A and B are shown apart, each in its own frame.
Chain A
Amino acid sequence: GAVVSQHPSRVICKSGTSVKIECRSLDFQATTMFWYRQFPKQSLMLMATSNEGSKATYEQGVEKDKFLINHASLTLSTLTVTSAHPEDSSFYICSARRQRDQETQYFGPGTRLLVL
């Protein structure tokens, strides 16, 4: 159990367009989901924390108007990269936490975004 999926797995888009990435918890209800960004050969950087039904909490330095997060249900969170630019190219990873084990995060497989 505790499977998290992401869609799409990779996306290529033109500069200036917006891209939506979905994160789903497939077999559990996720009260909290996290969005990370991973640069090549580097660690994960937490971008924001989202709780179902409330606004996301963004980490310092992350533009909330650029990275829109919606956590509309207990199994789905979306990250929309608005007006994407080449510097937004990265690996975006989500994780989910279930209420009965708040310490453990279960990670999605990641989404590779390339902005041309």
Chain B
Amino acid sequence: GDSVTQMEGPVTLSEEAFLTINCTYTATGYPSLFWYVQYPGEGLQLLLKATKADDKGSNKGFEATYRKETTSFHLEKGSVQVSDSAVYFCALNQYNDYKLSFGAGTTVTVRA
């Protein structure tokens, strides 16, 4: 079945540091890929998505590129802020049923 593997946390960074969260997937066909963010005490919010190979999703300074050759969708941000402290989930779904398969989540803490 489909699965998503993302780097284990927690990740602790200083403000303005570069953030990378690795995500790789196993799936048949051509899934769509997502990054969701969960701020403390809140539900998940869609951060960005990519629906086909080589697509780049971007939002709020975050970027991720759909790499089919390496089955990866790594999340990056060039300069993090304290407000980026959250849990980040990589996910995928298939065109035929749209069920989301989530990675385990990576907790990111940004210190001032």
Chain A residues proximal to chain B, CB less than 8 Å: 4, 6, 32, 34, 41-44, 46, 49, 93, 95, 97, 102-110
Contacts and interface: CB of A to CB of B under 8 A. Distances in A.
A46 B100 contact: yes
B29 interface: no
Interface in B26-64: 32, 36, 42-46, 49, 51
B24 to A, nearest CB: 15
A97 B42 CA distance: 19
Contact of B44 (A42, A93, A102): A93
A78 to B, nearest CB: 17
Interface stretch (B14-22, B68-76, B78-86, B102-110): B102-110
Q: Main SS of the interface on chain A?
A: strand
A46 B98 CA distance: 12
Contact of A43 (B32, B42, B93, B105): B105
B89 interface: yes
A95 B93 CA distance: 14
Given A108-B43, A109-B43, A44 B102 contact: yes
Size class of the contact patch on chain B: 10 to 19
B36 A107 contact: yes
B43 A42 contact: no
A95 B100 CA distance: 11
Given A44-B89, A107-B44, A102 B104 contact: no
Nearest to A6: B43
B104 A103 contact: no
Contacts of B105: 41-43
A4 to B, nearest CB: 8
Given A97-B98, A104-B49, A43 B104 contact: yes
Contacts of A106: 46
A29 B31 CA distance: 25
